[in-house]
Structure 1
């Protein structure tokens, strides 16, 4: 190994350590358990120390000449550099603690300790108690930092903090029943944390009721900050921030017209107009809270079997569990894939989490939800979240043998989401029958194109909301009329656009990049079958698509 390579690996390990040290929750989620007894420090002095450490890490990384590194190490250098710059941008300009009350929620820090058996339960409970003892001071610091918050953020935070309270009250109590000897150590911390959460939720609700304007913050980032955040989130490369939003918006609006024509043709083949056919499919595939999780389990078995039979990619035999989404994560997305941390030594399952309708929803709102997420759509959702989407892609990603842990820890959202959307199209093109029957694939194709519309509109929403002042009425009309979404789905997506700037665009940008990459690789390697092409694309971890393209030489 050359001195340059050794220097890079030292700088990379130290730089990643800066990110993990200052974000103990990220460390735990990643499978690094050195900081399981800590919470993020939210006071100004700790944030200033983190910012100084980021500068030192960037300087050490930039001192290494990428031209003297291997191709893989050069990619890791750029991946880490973008992650460090993104965190610096967050601290310097986004400053989420000042306006986002979702930021200090300790739910993930505690849930990860309880949900995964990476260590004996007693050890994890001791770590949980240490984190619980820090909750009162952490929430107090968050209240001190928050100035003017958007109403949608306050409403969502109140619900999710209540979910965290339920986690501590119920799931931690259940865990303690298995380790009663730890009650004297854990119970005082648990009681104090519950009191602190009650105080904090009451404070959030007071802010919502206040008439002083403190709940009237604008959730929109504005053109400049949004475009820079988007370029960093997507890892588009240097000198892309200035026109990133405009470029993506133009491509998305062009794609919307193309997919509208395709779904109209697909509906005509099923004997009707788009809305008529979608309504018919929704009625055929009735789902409710009692059946949704079981149907996703059945869809997981069917999609995985199809991938194996058609040799679409290598299927690794990693354990997967379909679970009910924890309450503290509800209110933003309908489902997610939660794999074990990439640094995790224990053999842990991947969770495919599905959210039933909240208990306080009306019967009509729940029916609307399940018209959107009918049986046909659940198969499409499972393709995206599991096979051949996130579950199988991330299983391949975990097997990348990098010289540093950088690429294992720092996934690129555009590549991960782009692959999952590409997987939807792949399964439709290869004839996956969905729920079966003579029109099974045709019905699945309708859902796949509907999700293409949704994905494309997601990008348009993301950009137009944060840079062009799109109103709620305009957004809902776009989603319902051109995206054929149920009203409940559209209302939820409007909230998500306000809550998660520069995230909704990752699906469209990533899909376009992965689709083009696969097409170019097929042209360059005409003798390769599906499995060989896809395994090659997935063999490099989960960096931005531009890095995968460079590593494959296409």
Structure 2
């Protein structure tokens, strides 16, 4: 007899649901050890996921059982918070089933099988003594040869862009075995006899796998279209957003907003340059001149990018406190250079300790300098895009009051089950971070440079609004309407004012990460609308009261947050 059946006999439906949620979550963590480690549950740290057809079949059978259990819960007998958790759990199970049964990414995306992140998670955080973590590393290393053999067995035709990216990231995993792992062994030499044999075997398996991927690339076998197509994309978009929006809805709203933002950035550019607002036909050239002027005032290079982000974290935090925008939690933050295994998709990310992690660990704000091998022109283009003012805006998004602060609030949320502790909505998380950019710019954040600094930040933030709105347009048009690379590059460079290198990277990202690029735009509009409605319902509230209320319920999809806030 299961725990939730026992609970049902007692008549306590909320206890019944909490027991079911625990059962479902434990199953998910067991079958996805890397996810468990990232969340801070370390029971499965010595394992890798089972990508075999039998393993997928067992997982799908378990999901069907779990969905049947969820359907047995009387949602009308639950309190509002528990009812929200029930719906989130149901949607998560449905999304996992869709991923394994319909999208089947492990059969065509070689990035899925890279064990680099699973190893990096054990080496990058001091959640346990190094000896204990190295024992888990040894377990995962020992599983690498079979893991990669299974991957080769299940992988069919692959897209070229995915294979090219996988080659770089698998090389990064080899680098992890030579660098961070060796550093850990130097501090725990007694573990060498355990780790070195499996490390050498894993390195050999990684080299062989890299050779296999190169053969696929050079022989022309890697020719699969990376686009999902209309039906699969629409299904995955629903699973990603957990919002009642079709691809057509997202595209129509984004293309309408793009026109509005173009007008706003043209007016901001004219103000920055001290010129009259131009007619629409001439606005693009004026915006380009203003953005070039901002970039010229704050030169950045590989040696200064991380120190500038460190300084920006200090000034953004001081501004949030001074203007009392939201409660600031003093959780530890470290700004680090992005590991090679994670490069090639985004320029920065926030890596917070898992919500299930019992120890107080720092949050990493990772930034990627330019890759080795780039020529001077490409590096210069990159840092025109990520100039000093843009780095302040990026720090707002990734750290303060964006991801770092939002996730700190989320960790302090009390919920009736582990559902919202375990699962977070990317739509809400990214939506809050983009809203935070807008909030800081509208409140006059100047990076310590006065009125002209505030205008520069505002310009960069509007450019980011253009970018994330275009992200959604790219996402839908690439995967459902056959948008070409030339069309995408023209949209990003002409209407989005992006540097060529940034646009080229985003084109690759659109091919690599279907539906994720839409979370920024959809989340931003949802969070901004929600804040406006909360202000209207509570006209006497301060910024801090409104924003603390928005962040008080974890990281649920925005539609559920509305219910939790009584909107």
Task: Give the conservation status (yes or no) of the 8 Å contact 2:315–2:448.
Answer: no
Alignment check: 8 A CA contact 1:16 1:80 kept: no
Alignment of 1:130-209 (within 5 A): 130-209=139-218
Q: Is the 8 A contact 1:18 1:54 kept in 2?
A: no
Aligned residue for 1:368? 381
Cα 1:440–1:2 change in 2 (3 A) is farther
CA distance in 2, matches of 1:223, 1:24: 32
Offset at 1:71? Answer: 0.9
Query: How much does 1:68 deviate?
Result: 0.6
* Cα drift, residue 420 of structure 1: 0.3
Count the aligned residue pairs.
547
Query: Do the aligned residues in 2 keep the contact of 1:158 with 1:201 (CA within 8 Å)?
Result: yes
Q: What secondary structure does 2:112 align onto?
A: coil
In the alignment, which residue of structure 2 is the partner of 1:551? Answer: 564
Residue matched to 2:235: 228
The match for 2:348 among 330, 335, 348 is 335
1:274 aligned partner: 287
Residues 229, 479 of structure 2: 8 Å contact kept? yes
Specify the SS of the correspondent of 2:110: coil
Q: For structure 1, list consecutive stretches of 5 or more residues without a partner in the other structure.
A: none
How far did 1:152 drift? Answer: 0.2
**Structure 2: distance between partners of 1:67 and 1:438:** 54
How far apart in 2 are the matches of 1:56 and 1:3? Answer: 22
The 5 Å alignment of 1:58-457 reads 58-211=67-220, 214-236=221-243, 240=244, 244-271=246-273, 273-457=286-470
Distance 2:491 2:217 in 1: 29
On the 8 A contact 1:400/1:539 being kept in 2, the answer is: yes
Offset, 1:97: 1.4
Shift of 1:377: 0.2
Spell out, residue by residue over 1:152-171, the C-alpha distance to the aligned partner (whole angstroms, 9 max, x if none): 00000000000011001211
Give me the whole-angstrom Cα distance separating, in 1, the residues matched to 2:51 and 2:229: 25
Matched, 1:49 2:58: yes
Counterparts of 1:118 and 1:73 in 2: how far apart (Å)? 30
Structure 1 segments (4+ residues) deviating >6 Å: none
Q: Determine the C-alpha separation between the residues in 1 that align with 2:184 and 2:58.
A: 36
Whole-angstrom CA distance in 1 between matches of 2:450 and 2:412? 37
Write the deviation string for residues 416-462 of structure 1: whole angstroms up to 9, x where unpaired.
00000000000011111125144011110000000000000000000
Counterparts of 1:438 and 1:220, CA distance in 2: 45
C-alpha distance after superposition, 1:488-511 (max 9, x if no partner): 000000000000000000000000
What secondary structure sits across from 2:487 in the alignment? helix
What stretches of structure 2 of length at least 5 have no aligned partner? 1-9, 276-285
The Cα of 1:404 is off from its aligned counterpart by 1.8
3-state SS, counterpart of residue 335 of structure 2: strand
Report the RMSD for the aligned CA atoms in angstroms: 0.9
Q: For residue 81 of structure 1, report the CA deviation from its aligned partner.
A: 1.0
Which of 13, 25, 33 pairs up with 2:42? Answer: 33
Give CA-to-partner distance per residue, 1:55-101, whole Å, 9 cap, x none. Answer: 11111111101111111111111111111111100111111111100
Give the C-alpha shift of residue 324 in structure 1.
0.3
Q: Distance in 1 between matches of 2:108 and 2:45?
A: 27
Q: Distance in 2 between matches of 1:510 and 1:117?
A: 33
Name the CA distance, whole Å, in 1 between partners of 2:16 and 2:177: 44
Q: Which residue of 1 aligns with 2:278?
A: none
CA distance in 2, matches of 1:409, 1:358: 34
Distance 1:360 1:64 in 2: 57
* Secondary structure, counterpart of 1:103 in structure 2: helix
Please tell me whether the aligned partners of residues 4 and 69 of structure 1 are also in contact (alpha carbons under 8 angstroms). Answer: yes
Shift of 1:199: 0.5
Query: 1:318 Cα shift?
Result: 0.4
Identify if the C-alpha distance between structure 1 residues 166 and 364 changes in structure 2 by more than 3 Å, giving closer, same or farther.
same
TM-score by length of 1: 0.98
Tell me the equivalent position of 2:283. none
| SS of residue in 2 equivalent to 1:447 | helix
Question: In 2, distance between residues paired with 1:42 and 1:293?
Answer: 37
Give CA-to-partner distance per residue, 1:123-142, whole Å, 9 cap, x none.
00000000000000000100
Would the aligned equivalents of 2:144 and 2:202 in 1 still touch at CA under 8 Å? yes
Shift, 1:40, TM fit:
0.3
In 2, are the aligned partners of 1:320 and 1:352 still within 8 Å (CA)?
yes
Partner of 2:553: helix, strand, or coil? Answer: coil
Separation in 2, partners of 1:435, 1:95: 49
SS of 1:41's equivalent? coil
Maintained 8 Å contact 2:431/2:524: yes
For each residue in 1:165-201, what CA deviation from the matched residue of structure 2 results, as whole angstroms up to 9, or x when unmatched? 1001211011001111111101001000000000011
Q: Report the CA distance between 1:2 and its aligned residue.
A: 4.8
In structure 2, the residue matched to 1:470 is 483
